[in-house]
Amino acid sequence: MSEFRIEKDSMGEVKVPKNAYYQAQTQRAVDNFPISGIRMKRNVIRAFGIIKKSAALANKELGLLNEDVVRLLVAASQEVIEGKLDDHFPIDIYQTGSGTSSNMNANEVIASRANEMVKEKKIDVKIHPNDHVNYGQSSNDVFPTALRIAAILTLNETFFPGLTALSKSLKSMGQKYAHVAKTGKTHLMDAMPVTFKQVFDGYAHQVDNGIARVKSSIERMSELPQGGTAVGTGINTHEKFGQTFARQVTIETGHTFKEAINHFEAQGTLDAPMELSSLLKTYATGLMKIANDFRWMNSGPNSAISEIKIAPIQPGSSIMPGKVNPVIEESVCMVCAQAIGNDVTVAIANQSGNFELNVMYPVACHNLLESIELLGNASKNFAERSVSVLTVNEKNVKDKLFKNPILVTALNPIIGYDKAATIAKKAYAEDRSLIDVALEETKLSRAELEKYLDPVKMTRGGFTT
C-alpha cells in the first residue's frame, strides 16, 4: 500500500499509484480499458495542454476565473504542452467513445500539478479538475477540439515538410537526368519513349497535388468545436467563450483557428477529419504507385528492367550473398497500406455518430494522426534514402530503347499504321534493329529514318518529320 494512495470521485474510492499526478477517474479508465497498450499520441496530449491553457486564459478574459487560479492552470498546462508530464497520461486509445477518460486525465494531471505549485508558492487556493481546469468545457467539445488541433500541428510539423522534401528530390533527380530518354511503358509493355525528367516531374506533381489537396481541408479542420459543451448548445459556458478560446489557440499555435460555425455539426460528426483522412488516402495510393514504379525500374539487375539503381543500404537476403532489395520503397508501400486501412476506420467512426455526439473520437483521432505521421515520415525517408541517391543505368536504358519496336509509331504519318506494324513485328521477331528492317521495307534513307526515329524528339510530342 505504500506505493499507492487512495483517491475519491463520485463513485467512491480508488487506489492510485502514489506518485501519479492523475486521480480516480483516470485510474478507473486504466483499469477498465486494458485493451491495446497504445496511448494517446504526443500531439494529442500537447493539444490537451493547449486547450486547457487557452480555456483558462479565455475564462480570465471573460471574468470567470481569478488571476491566481489562471496563473496556476497556465503554468501546469504549459508543462503538458512541453511533454514534461507525458508519463501521467496512461489511458488506452480504446476507451469511452467521447474521449471523456482522456479529458479527465488532462484535468486531473493539470489540477494535481497546479496544487503542487500551490504548496510551493504558498497560495491560498485549491485547484479542482472539473470546477477549474474543465471550467466552461465538456469532454464532448474538448476531445473533438484536441483532434483538430493535433492534426493541424502534425500536418505542419511532419506531413507538409516530408512531402515538400520528396517533391524537391524528385524534381532534382529528374533535372539531373533530363537528357536521358527511356522506353515508356503502358500495360507493363514497351511503349513510346519518355525522358526521366518527364517521369519524375509527373511523380513530383502527384506529391504537390497531395499537399494542395490536404491544405484545402485545413479551413474546415480549423473550426473548433470548443464552446458547444455537452450537446452543442453551449450550456454552462460564456456565450463568447468559443471565439475567445479560438483566438487564444491561434496565439498559442501560430495557426489561425476559429469557433465552429455550427457546434452541432462539429460535435456530432467527424466530417472534417473524414475529409482530411480521405485526402490522405488519395495521397497514399499515389505514393504507393510511385514507390512501386521505383521497384519495377530497379528490378533486376540482369533479368528485368534495371533502368535505375537504388542505393544499396543494407543486405537483402539472409541466404543469397550480394542481394540488395528496394527496402525503402517496400517500407513506403507498407505505410501506404496502413494509411488506406486507417481511412476505413475513420469512415466507420464517422458514421457512428449518434444524434448530438460521435462516439468513436479516440480511435478516429489515433488513426488520422497515424496516417499523417507515417505518410510525412515515409515521404521524407523516401526522398533522403532513395530518390536523392539513386543513379540511372544510362547505357542499359539506351540499349533497350533502340531495340524498342514501338518506336516505329513515329513513322505512322509517313508509311501508315499497317506498314509500321509489319516492320515492328519483323524487327521484334528477328531481334534486329528497327532502322535496318525499315530500310528493307520502305524507300526511306538511313538518314531520314535516324531523323524520324530519334527517341528524344518523340518525347517532345508532335511529329518527328
Catalytic residue set: 187, 317
DSSP line for 96-158? -TT-HHHHHHHHHHHHHHHHHHHHHHT-S----IIIIITTT--HHHHHHHHHHHHHHHHIIII
User: Beta partners for 398?
Assistant: none
CA distances (Å), origin 324, targets 156, 297, 340, 380, 382: 35, 14, 28, 21, 17
Q: How far is Cα 452 from Cα 409, in angstroms, rounded to an integer? A: 10
Backbone phi, psi, residue 173, to 5°: -70, -35
Let me know the angle formed at the C-alpha of 249 by 69 and 246, rounded to the nearest 5 degrees: 100
Q: How far is Cα 10 from Cα 3, in angstroms, rounded to an integer? A: 23
DSSP line for 158-197? IIHHHHHHHHHHHHHHHHHTTT-EEEEEETTEEEEEEEHH
Let me know the angle formed at the C-alpha of 332 by 314 and 323, rounded to the nearest 5 degrees: 25
Indicate the Cα dihedral angle 226, 161, 377, 339, nearest 10°: 50
Within 8 A by CB and 6+ apart from 279, the residues are: 210, 213, 214, 216, 217
15: left (phi over 0), alpha (psi -120 to 50) or beta: beta
